[in-house]
Amino acid sequence: MRVFLFLLLPFLVFASHLKIISIKGTNSEVQVQFNNSIKEKDFSKYSINSGIYYDIKAELAVSKETFKLGKNSIKIAPNTKTITRIVIETKESENLYFNINNKRLTLSFKNNSATKIDSNKTNANNLESSNLNIANLFNSLDLKSINPSNKQDSTKIKDSTQQTDSTLKSAAQNNTQTNNNKNKIIVLDPGHGGKDCGASVGKICEKTITLNISKKTAEILKSRGYAVYTTRNSDKYISLTDRTKMANDKNADVFISIHANALDKKSKNYKSANGIETYFLSTARSERAKKVAELENKDDIEVMNYFSKLSFLNSINSQRLLASNKLAIDIQGGMLMNARNLHKGVIDGGVREGPFWVLAGALMPSILIEVGYMTNALELTRMQTKEYQNAIASGIADGIDGYFLKNF
Ligand SMILES: [Zn+2]
């Protein structure tokens, strides 16, 4: 037995040699890719005055990097040849999102307030000075000699001084590898399911319409080369938090929740209200948005309490909000165009803001669409046809194409 152990030892050592093989960052998150799978226990966590840092026994096989996420900064650099240190300067460490998925560590902030456009310069200066402050967190070993900071590295920080109206654009420039649309990850979320029928008229449940449209949309997006995940592929119940958790776990680029509208029987325009609407999450509370939100949210009181505790309405990332708004406009346009090819008079219900809890937990641009009113007889009939479902699906896909084309 002992002989075998000695024979195995070199292989075990070899296998355990952990390396960081790539670091990618945007203004909203940082992704660290390892050559082997990692676990949270591999990281030693330390609190410091200016935030926290983690040490991991892994060689940094790429250049050190510093990223700025709102008011926070994340620096990844070697502490010794075998230990990489991740220093996170933040005043809101409780909002740090530290997520491990097999070989990838994702760091972001739940409360990542975007850099104000007119204060970019000040923030960048702050970052520079804070870099000096944290310099002594790294071993006196000359880091530059291990990983000479290349030009790209230093421009990455300077980039933040040049961000104007399109922070997402410069984030994408920093990250040329993911520029290709076809690397985009889409999570589709057919509303309701299982015990939760959603809106119902007669025996027809919203959950069936949303599932059909989602399946078709997934098919089209996959044929266009996107990576697509759906929160459900069958008639089963999924909590609101699990829906966005999936999107976060998959590192989705966009999250799209699919619904069909309905009005309360007491409403004046119960039978006449119609049209396609797209919502994105915000604190705005127009009467119409509030009514739709109440209907879509009623399912999950527990989730609402959970997010209320997080006071999520204050924590909406303004960058994500802007991106969600853009995504909503593109998808609304795509749906209308395709639906109108089929039925000329389809009504544009508009792009609206609303407090939708299903979108609250998502860390990426996310929208909720209402593909028509079930309480409107004509739209209910249409929504059950394959033709209309296909048109909406094509519209969603066209909208996604347009969004990525323009914004990345
Ligand atoms: Zn719904």
Which domains does the chain carry?
Answer: 15-176 (no CATH), 181-407 (3.40.630.40)
CA distance from start to end of the chain: 57
Q: In the sheet that 276-281 helps form, which strands lie side by side, from edge to edge? A: 227-230, 185-190, 254-261, 366-373, 276-281, 348-354
What global pTM score does this model have?
A: 0.55
The pairing of strands 51-56 and 84-89 is antiparallel
Q: Which residues pair with 60 in a beta bridge?
A: 20
Predicted confidence at residue 168, as pLDDT, reads: 37
Encode pLDDT of 140-191 as tens digits: 333 333 333 333 333 233 333 333 333 333 333 333 333 455 689 999 999 9
Report the distance separating Cα 120 and Cα 281, nearest Å. Answer: 25
pLDDT at 3: 39
Given a cut of 50, whether residue 316 has pLDDT beyond it is yes
The whole-number average pLDDT for the span 360-375 is 90
pLDDT of residue 182: 64
Residue 154, C-beta contacts closer than 8 angstroms, at least 6 positions apart: none
Per-residue model confidence (pLDDT) at position 300: 53
Compute the distance from residue 199 Cα to the ligand 1 centre, in Å. Answer: 6
Report the separation in Å between the CA atom of 260 and the middle of ligand 1, taken as the mean of its atom positions.
Answer: 6
CB 359 within 8 Å of CB 315: no
Q: Give pLDDT tens digits for 247-303.
A: 989 999 999 999 999 998 888 888 999 999 999 876 555 566 667 766 676 655 555
pLDDT for residue 302: 54
Asked whether residue 382 carries a pLDDT value surpassing 90, the answer given is: yes
Q: How many helices (H) and strands (E) does the chain have?
A: 13, 18
Q: How far is the CA of 206 from the centre of ligand 1 (A)?
A: 7
- The whole-angstrom separation of Cα 270 and Cα 287 is 15
Which of residues 10 and 232 earns the better pLDDT score?
232
Ligand 1 centre from 379 Cα, in Å? 15
Say how many Å lie between the CA of residue 176 and the centre of ligand 1: 37
> Measured in angstroms, how far is the CA atom of residue 110 from the centroid of ligand 1?
25
Question: What spacing in Å lies between the alpha carbon of 117 and ligand 1's midpoint?
Answer: 36
Distance 249 CA to ligand 1 centre (A): 23
User: Within its chain, how far is the Cα of 28 from the centroid?
Assistant: 9
Q: What percent of the chain has pLDDT over 90?
A: 39
DSSP 196: B
Ligand 1 centroid–CA 227 distance in Å is 24
**Token couple for 123:** 């923030």
What distance in angstroms lies between residue 239's CA and the mean position of ligand 1's atoms?
13
Ligand 1 centre distance from Cα of residue 295 (Å):
7
Q: How many other C-beta atoms lie within 10 A of the C-beta of residue 41? A: 6
- How far is the centre of ligand 1, averaged over its atoms, from the C-alpha of 313 (Å)? 21
Task: Determine how many CB atoms are found less than 10 A away from the CB of residue 146.
Answer: 15
Going from the Cα of 237 to the center of ligand 1, the distance in angstroms, rounded, reads: 13
- Given pLDDT bands bounded at 50, 70 and 90, which one contains residue 308? low
Q: How far is the CA of 366 from the centre of ligand 1 (A)?
A: 15
